[in-house]
Amino acid sequence: MRPTRFAPLLLTTFLIAGAAQADEVQVAVAANFTAPIQAIAADFEKDTGHKLVAAYGATGQFYTQIKNGAPFEVFLAADDTTPAKLENEGNTVKDSRFTYAIGTLALWSAKNGYVDDQGQVLKSNGFQHLSIANPKAAPYGLAATQVLDKLGLTAQVKGKIVEGQNITQAYQFVSTGNAELGFVALSQVYKDGKLVSGSAWIVPAELHDPIKQDAVILSKGRDNPAAKALMDYLKSPKAAAIIQSYGYQR
C-alpha cells in the first residue's frame, strides 16, 4: 500500500515545483517596439514558460508612471537616457541595463509613391499635415525635430505639424489619412526586409542623434525570475533575429 500512497504525493510535488518556475513579468514597452515584442513574447512564453504582460506608450510618460509607483518590472525604452536616469535615481536593478535595439526613423505615407526615397517631398512643401510624435515624451519625435533642423525646414513646416502623444498615434494620423505623411519608427511599416504598405524614406542616421533603445530591470522586478529571464531572452539570437526583421540594428 505504501507505493500507492507515495505516487500521488510525488506527482503533486512535481507539479508544484513546475508551477513555481513559471512567472509573469509586467513590462513597459516603448510604442515603437509593439510589433517586435508581441512576436518575441509568444516565443518567450513557449520557450521559458514565463508570461510577458506588456503596456505600450511613450518613454517619457512611462518615466513619470514609474516614478509614481507603477507596477512595471522591466522597461524597454525608446532611448538610453531615460533608463540611465532611472538607474542614477536608484529605481533599477544594478548592472541590468543594456541596449536591446537601435531604432531607425522613417518618413512615411500611406499612399504609394507619395514619399520618394530621398525625402524630397519634405522640401516640396506640397502637403498640408506632417505627423510627428511628441518630442518631449517620445525619442522618435525628438529625432524628427532634429531632422527638420538639420534640413533647415523647421520654420517651413511649423504650421503643418500634427503631434501625436507617442509614435503609435503619430503613425495613426498618417494611416487614417489625417496627415499625408509623418515621421514614424521604421518598425511600424517594415517587416522581413520590405515596406509593408505605402511609401517611405528611410532617414539617414547622421541626420539625428542615435536612437539607442535600452532595457532595464526596475526595482519592482528585482526578485522576479521572469524579469531576469526576459532580459536574457532579449540578448538571444532568436530575439535578435526578430528585432532585426523589423528594421532595427543591434
CA dihedral 213, 219, 225, 227 (to 10 degrees): -20
Confidence at residue 11, expressed as pLDDT on a 0 to 100 scale: 36
Cα Rg of the chain, angstroms = 21
Listed residue (207, 225, 250, 216) closest to 36, CA to CA: 250
Beta strands 98-103; 105-109: pairing state: unpaired
Confidence at residue 21, expressed as pLDDT on a 0 to 100 scale: 60
Within a 10 A sphere around the Cβ of 146, how many other Cβ atoms?
Answer: 17
Confidence at residue 18, expressed as pLDDT on a 0 to 100 scale: 38
The least confident of 15-19, 48-52, 84-88, 169-173 is 15-19
Cα–Cα–Cα angle for 67, 239, 202, rounded to 5 degrees:
85
Lookup result for grid cell 505516487: 7
Band (pLDDT 50/70/90 cuts) for residue 20 is: very low
What are the helix (H) ranges across 26-119?
A: 34-48, 59-67, 81-88
Band (pLDDT 50/70/90 cuts) for residue 186 is: very high
62 φψ region: left (φ > 0), alpha (ψ -120 to 50), beta (else):
alpha
pLDDT, mean over the chain: 91
Give the 3-state secondary structure of 175-215.
Answer: HCCCCCEEEEEHHHCEECCEECCCEEEECCHHHCCCEEEEE
Residues, the chain, total?
A: 250
Confidence at residue 222, expressed as pLDDT on a 0 to 100 scale: 97
Domains of the chain: 2-102+211-245 (3.40.190.10), 104-207 (3.40.190.10)
Note the pLDDT tens digit of each residue in 113-167.
Answer: 999 999 999 999 999 999 999 999 899 999 999 999 999 999 999 999 999 999 9
Band (pLDDT 50/70/90 cuts) for residue 250 is: confident
Note the pLDDT tens digit of each residue in 69-91.
Answer: 999 999 999 999 999 999 999 99
Confidence at residue 167, expressed as pLDDT on a 0 to 100 scale: 94
Confidence at residue 1, expressed as pLDDT on a 0 to 100 scale: 43
Q: Is the pLDDT of residue 4 over 60?
A: no
Provide the 3-class DSSP secondary structure of residue 58: coil
Listed residue (207, 128, 136, 115) closest to 161, CA to CA: 128
Type of residue numbered 2: R
